[in-house]
Chains A and B, each alone.
Chain A
Amino acid sequence: MTSLPEPQPGAKKLGLVIDLDTCVGCHACATNCKEWNTSGHMAPLPDHNPYSAGAEGVWFNRVHSYEAGEGEAGRTVHFPRSCLHCEQPACVTVCPTGASYKRAEDGIVLVNTDICIGCQLCAWACPYGAREFDEDAGVMKKCTLCIDRIYNETIPEAQRVPACVATCPAQARHFGDLGDPDSAVSKLVAERGGIALMPELGYAPVNRYLPPRRRAPAPDPGPPRDPGPLPSQIKNPLLRWVDKVLSR
């Protein structure tokens, strides 16, 4: 059913919080995502020409890098992009078959690849480019929020987080319930002023991005120091020796 579940007050909204201040752009999240998901719920994820020119395939996570601002205020920001598990996911409502759906119990947006017809309208409807078409299987694929990890009772509890979160060496990725104002992720979002992407389009993304922290301005170095005379300008050998010792 591609109609959206009725929003319930206090309903669970599982999602990611991505810290753009600490992300180092290492692509480990993208790589571990690919590694887990190519044998997970949406498996396999195609790879064409993996070892030669023209290598491409389906990835649920893509890490862009941007420059923002000018001059001293400018900075480089690494920006992982994946499904935001929107509260108003048009990718679900446009689906003609019911293959796309949003889970009422936790808000995860999934595709049932057994009934997807591969019309790709959902990819057109997603403003964020979260869905990628599997040209081998003829069906659409997308981030599952690692549904096969987060509820997986056969792996240690500490590992029951999405693969991208588990692997992030900078701990720039956080997973939790954004529908609960007291959850760790909600508090993080509140504390750091987490933002939603392209809110003007009305998709109400669940995932939040923590903006890079404003840097303290560089300390004022004061007026330039008088370098004093050059050693060759000091005629007296004793004073020249003293100057040399003190200049060390």
Chain B
Amino acid sequence: MKPALSIVFFTVASGAGYGLLFWLGLLLPAGLLPMAGWFGVAGVAVALGLISAGLLSSLAHLGRPERAWRALSQWRSSWLSREGVAALATFAPAGVFFLALLAGREGVAAPAGLLAAVGAAATVYCTGMIYASLKPIRQWHHPLVVPGYLLFGAFTGAVLLALLAAAFGLGAGPALLAALLGAAGLALKRAYWASVDAGPPIATVESATGLGFIGRVRPLDPPHTETNYLLREMAFRIARVHAARLRRIVLSAGFMLPALLLVAAALFGGGGALLLTWAAALLALGGMLVERWLMFAEATHTVTLYYRGGSV
């Protein structure tokens, strides 16, 4: 599948934004991080900024962005519609959360924060389900795809939380939380890749054409000599050697190094901790962009069977 930059940026930015909103909405009312002061206000502002930037970026993928409002109507059947509804609905408690923190109204901020956390989790769940519900793409129609979207959003959100906590001098708790989620993300991504690499094909050119009863089927003449939409959109190919290298970059730079840097930041504290956390945040977000790019680049669609034969 073609990695559209608008969608790669959208899912990484709003994933991190919803992750940060989730942790703030959960940890502030729980009293684990301070409600008072500028920490919460800055945190929710960053979260909403990332979410909004991501959502605006997603509009760039549409052929008719001015009609985007219509996407809110089919929540009964469509995960994309549900994502849109959940994203917009989450703005309400998140906005109240932000204003209540700004006004120092802790009684209002606590329930609004919890609701915003629920909305954030629901939105990222819907994002994951958009991909997981697509049966023609084996690498997306996989039980670890939705947990991945949720966990990676929680991880990048926690890294941003750790960065803010370090900037406000609020202790090492968020850094340790983020390091733990980074380790979990590493394990999940490794398990996902092991599973999709070993997974059986979902269809073959023989079943796609129904000609398997004659014998092995291979394409002879293509239907058109030039490219077309299907080939550009769904037959994106990445060299295996690049994929292997990019996977190593995701695991090391995206999960392992940030986790180690965050543990170091928690251990050393002080001014160095802020620097280490900055490095961890940049690596985690950069690694997540590569992870999301690979998620598309490595995904194969059954339509390629008609053009290239074999199995997917």
Interface residue ranges of A178-216 to B (CB < 8 Å): 195-203, 209, 211-212
B71/A117 in contact, CB under 8 A: yes
* Chain B positions 56 through 76: 1 when the CB is less than 8 Å from some CB of chain A, otherwise 0: 000001111101101111101
A96/B64 in contact, CB under 8 A: no
- Asked if A221 is an interface residue, CB under 8 A from chain B, the answer is no
Q: A66-B218, A124-B1, A124-B136 are in contact. Are A117 and B70 (CB under 8 A)?
A: yes
Name B67's contact: one of A65, A77, A97 (CB within 8 Å): A97
Name A63's contact: one of B64, B72, B213, B223 (CB within 8 Å): B223
A68/B216 in contact, CB under 8 A: yes
- Asked if A62 is an interface residue, CB under 8 A from chain B, the answer is yes
- Asked if A38 is an interface residue, CB under 8 A from chain B, the answer is no
Interface residue ranges of B195-237 to A (CB < 8 Å): 202-203, 205, 207-224, 226-230, 233-234
Kindly specify which of A53-61, A166-174, A224-232 makes contact with the partner chain: A53-61
B223/A90 in contact, CB under 8 A: no
The interface of chain A, by Cβ under 8 A from chain B, is 1-4, 20, 25, 27, 30, 53-59, 62-70, 73-77, 79, 81, 90, 92-99, 115-121, 123-129, 132-135, 137-140, 195-203, 209, 211-212
The 4 closest A-B pairs by CB, nearest first: A118-B63, A138-B63, A69-B215, A129-B303
29 A-B residue pairs with CB within 8 Å: A20-B210, A25-B221, A30-B223, A53-B226, A56-B224, A56-B228, A57-B228, A66-B219, A68-B216, A69-B214, A79-B211, A93-B77, A94-B78, A96-B70, A96-B78, A119-B63, A119-B71, A120-B61, A120-B63, A120-B233, A124-B136, A129-B306, A132-B228, A138-B62, A140-B63, A201-B302, A202-B135, A203-B135, A211-B211
The interface of chain B, by Cβ under 8 A from chain A, is 1, 61-65, 67-68, 70-74, 76-81, 84, 130, 133-137, 202-203, 205, 207-224, 226-230, 233-234, 301-303, 306-307, 309
